[in-house]
Structure 1
């Protein structure tokens, strides 16, 4: 399994270092950016699995940033970092930006690692589900072609299904 890529967007150098150190104990490719514009540029340059973004970005609204990330990169999991979150922001972040988790500052390293790890696992499960659904569609199409060509096969398939139910 290849290493997950984590993009962290926060204007505070000390926060970036703390996150980098906390996540560095796990084998992730960690990319840190100091503002939303740099974050977008990085997303366009290569695959990113998860984005951690500070709610208090100086150059743009975090909610707008995460909403755009979700629209342009729908497979990227997003986590919002915040010192405090009000109910309106929470609802909008979930409904508009599809934010996976909120992490309140200050956090502990264990909490950060667990949430990032779960976010990456969530993404992998979503991609696996998509792959399996596509495989089911392909298999269904094959079965339809076979049953159309050999009508008696459909009866046998139903008998086998009933016996195994």
Structure 2
């Protein structure tokens, strides 16, 4: 997933914070929202790879917002920024909402960039794992189908699925299996 393709939603009630984060993340496609409800409205119309939310906002705090956002877009990577060092809230956010990073304000720009890059990397890995798991399920379904066909053949004609192979790749026939009409 390259930076140009990554959609990031920034949610904070402070316009200056949104502008500052937008500048830090200028290499990405950034959408901003001044409140949780506005962020949720964006989530209904645009697919986001990452959502960065303030922890304390009026009307709807970051935890409530991310909980509702997660119901709409469960695969988006979630990051919280906050000016309050609340360890219990951070643990709760990480444990219940799968928040990827909890970053304190004022932040270090490299910390934000690194969190986004690592978040995009995690998202790519999770997508690859999901695709591989889907592929394995499809292959297992085909194997189960082939196994059912072989069992049905074996039930109809016992021994039909058993082949004796010679070292050179030829088939070894058991004389008892050959009809008298074909014996020389």
What is the aligned residue count?
151
> What are the ranges of 5 or more consecutive residues in structure 2 without an aligned counterpart?
152-160, 163-184
Deviations 1:34-56 (A, max 9, x none): 11111000000111111100012
Partner of 2:10: 8
Q: Is the CA contact 2:9–2:48 (under 8 Å) kept in the aligned structure 1?
A: yes
Between the aligned partners of 1:95 and 1:70, the Cα distance in structure 2 is: 14
Partner of 2:86: 86
Q: Secondary structure at the match of 1:118?
A: helix
Partner of 1:121: 121
Q: Secondary structure at the match of 1:42?
A: helix
Partner of 1:111: 111
Between the aligned partners of 1:19 and 1:62, the Cα distance in structure 2 is: 16
Displacement of 1:72: 2.7
Q: Which has the larger radius of gyration?
A: 2
Aligned residue among 10, 13, 17 for 2:19: 17
Partner of 2:29: 29
Any residues of structure 2 matched to 1:1-165 within 5 Å, and which? Answer: 1=1, 3-24=5-26, 26=27, 28-150=28-150, 152=161
Q: Secondary structure at the match of 1:150?
A: helix
> What are the ranges of 5 or more consecutive residues in structure 1 without an aligned counterpart?
154-165
TM-score normalised by L of structure 2: 0.76
Q: Is the CA contact 2:43–2:72 (under 8 Å) kept in the aligned structure 1?
A: no
Runs of 4+ in 1 over 6 A off after TM superposition: none
Between the aligned partners of 1:45 and 1:74, the Cα distance in structure 2 is: 15
TM-score normalised by L of structure 1: 0.85
